[in-house]
């Protein structure tokens, strides 16, 4: 009996050395995630559903690559305020983690749509320029006003114009640029806001928009300017015609609105030149307009 005890003892020692329990399996399974994004007024609400074979420790919410917040308890939610500046498709991501550091993620997109606050003279405009002596149309184009600036306490509409040939694009201003009670416009040669070079300057003949069958209109005397010398080189009559007080959202709709605005402005200016008794000579405060344009566009 004593001889048999030795093998049993050796087996017991071997089991003790190897351990009686198997090594636990590592957790490599990532959480499963679903994300829902909805807009309610001026807030986007995010709700994530996350599950894991062991347990979810937290869910992080991102807008693009920017971390918004993290939530460690069910329901996993986040919210953020939005404004009209966020309008359009916005992408969000939810990343769920477990205790082992495994990560699962899901994305969602929401189309933010918040009405923009109206700005001065906002919308799509057509413009046309005619020789002051002959009435011959020199140039036409479209202008979109979507912003406004402040100059010495006066609100001025700010936007951009293009000519019909799409060969020139620049900044445009409309409003009481140099003094209260005036209605003036200035177009720059390009979009350089540090040193805007005047292309066109004009002042409305009665200081206010006129009601026409096609929409509100600016009609006044002005001048075209030499780009290099910044001196007036041609006296002109100028018409700006507002086709729409909202800017269409889609590119195709914008292109159509601009095309229609250009055509209407040209025909309206021809009609004005034939029927009007002639514009009164206006004093173009060129220097003041150029300086005001610099001040407004640099902000």
Which CATH code for domain 123-298? Answer: 2.40.128
Domain ranges of the chain: 29-112, 123-298
Q: Is the dihedral of CA 212, 215, 216, 220 positive or negative?
A: negative
Q: What is the pLDDT of residue 63?
A: 96
Q: What is the pLDDT of residue 279?
A: 46
Which CATH code for domain 29-112? Answer: 2.60.40.10
Q: What is the DSSP letter of 161?
A: E
Distance CA 36, CA 289 (A): 51
Q: What is the pLDDT of residue 107?
A: 97
Give 18's contacts (C-beta < 8 A, 6+ positions apart).
Answer: none
Q: What is the pLDDT of residue 150?
A: 82
- Residue 269: how many other CB atoms lie within 10 Å: 25
Q: What is the pLDDT of residue 22?
A: 67
Tell me whether residue 299 is exposed, middle or buried, using C-beta atoms within 10 angstroms of its C-beta: 0 to 12, 13 to 18, 19 or more: exposed
Report in angstroms the alpha-carbon separations of 77 from 53, 55, 61, 62, 94.
21, 17, 8, 12, 10
Q: What is the pLDDT of residue 65?
A: 94
Q: What is the pLDDT of residue 276?
A: 52
| pLDDT under 70: residue ranges of the chain | 1-22, 116-119, 273-284, 286, 299
Q: What is the pLDDT of residue 8?
A: 47
Which tens digit of pLDDT belongs to each residue from 22-34? 677 899 999 999 9
How far the first Cα of the chain sits from its last, in Å, is 103
Which tens digit of pLDDT belongs to each residue from 264-282? 998 888 877 655 544 444 5
Q: What angle do CA 143, 189, 279 make, to 5 degrees?
A: 65
Q: Do domains 29-112 and 123-298 have the same CATH topology?
A: no
Q: What is the pLDDT of residue 1?
A: 44
Nearest to 235 by CA among 127, 147, 134: 134
Q: What is the pLDDT of residue 151?
A: 81
Q: What is the pLDDT of residue 284?
A: 61
């Amino acid at each position: 009996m004593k001889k048999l005890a030795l093998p049993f003892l050796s087996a017991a020692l071997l089991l003790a050395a190897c351990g009686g329990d198997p090594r636990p399996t590592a957790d490599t399974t990532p959480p499963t995630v679903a994300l829902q994004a909805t807009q309610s007024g001026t807030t986007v609400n995010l709700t994530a559903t996350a599950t894991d074979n062991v347990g979810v420790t937290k869910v992080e919410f991102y807008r693009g690559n920017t971390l918004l917040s993290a939530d460690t308890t069910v329901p996993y939610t986040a919210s953020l305020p939005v404004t009209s500046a966020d309008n359009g498709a916005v992408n969000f991501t939810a990343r769920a983690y477990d205790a082992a550091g495994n990560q699962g993620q899901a994305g969602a997109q929401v189309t933010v749509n918040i009405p923009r606050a109206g700005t001065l003279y906002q919308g799509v405009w057509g413009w046309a320029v005619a020789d002051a002596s002959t009435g011959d149309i020199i140039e036409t184009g479209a202008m979109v006003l979507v912003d406004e600036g402040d100059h010495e306490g006066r609100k001025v509409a700010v936007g951009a114009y293009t000519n019909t040939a799409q060969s020139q694009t620049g900044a445009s201003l409309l409003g009481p640029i140099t003094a209260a009670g005036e209605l003036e416009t200035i177009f720059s040669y390009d979009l350089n806001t540090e040193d805007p070079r005047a292309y066109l300057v004009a002042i409305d003949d009665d200081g206010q928009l006129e009601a026409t069958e096609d929409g509100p209109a600016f009609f006044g005397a002005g001048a075209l300017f030499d780009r290099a010398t910044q001196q007036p080189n041609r006296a002109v009559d100028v018409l700006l015609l507002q086709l729409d007080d909202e800017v269409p959202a889609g590119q195709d709709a914008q292109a159509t609105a601009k095309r229609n605005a250009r055509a209407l402005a040209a025909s309206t200016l021809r009609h004005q030149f034939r029927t009007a008794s002639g514009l009164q000579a206006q004093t173009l405060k060129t220097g003041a307009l150029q300086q005001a344009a610099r001040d407004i566009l640099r902000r």
